[in-house]
Amino acid sequence: MTLPRQQVPWAVWPLWVTASAVGSGLGAFAYDWYQRTSRDGQSVPIVITASLVILTLPAILQWLVVRRWVPQAGWWIVASAVGNFLGFFPIGWGI
């Protein structure tokens, strides 16, 4: 079954840019806070949870914008988090 495609209004793009900027800023703030409060030898579950929160903050705010126009927009959060991970992974490892 094919659904008719919805035209996304131009008024969405400023919302998209704002959501991306705010989400990235919150992610950077969360990363900074985590770095300041973490101790050497953090347990693996804490590191994984902190990483998931930091990587998904921009995606969640973007999802709040696109969910009205994109069917199955919930996958947006997963795809963005994976993309963020792949983008930041080389930086974290110093590659």
For residue 19, what pLDDT is reported?
A: 92
Residue 17: band (very low, low, confident or very high) from pLDDT cuts 50, 70, 90:
very high
3-state helix, strand and coil shares in percent for the chain, rounded to the nearest 5: 70, 0, 30
Q: CA-CA distance, 61 to 10, in Å (whole number)?
A: 18
Q: What is the average pLDDT across 18-37? A: 85
Buried b (16+ CB within 10 A) or exposed e, 58-88: bbbbbbebeeeeeeeeeebbeebbeebeeee
- Is a pLDDT exceeding 80 seen at residue 7? no
Question: 3-state class of 62 per DSSP?
Answer: helix
Confidence of residue 14 (pLDDT cuts 50, 70, 90): very high
CA-derived radius of gyration, the chain: 16
The whole-number pLDDT of residue 74 equals 87
pLDDT digits (tens, 9 = 90+) for 35-79: 787 776 667 777 778 788 888 888 999 999 988 887 888 898 899
pTM over 0.75: no
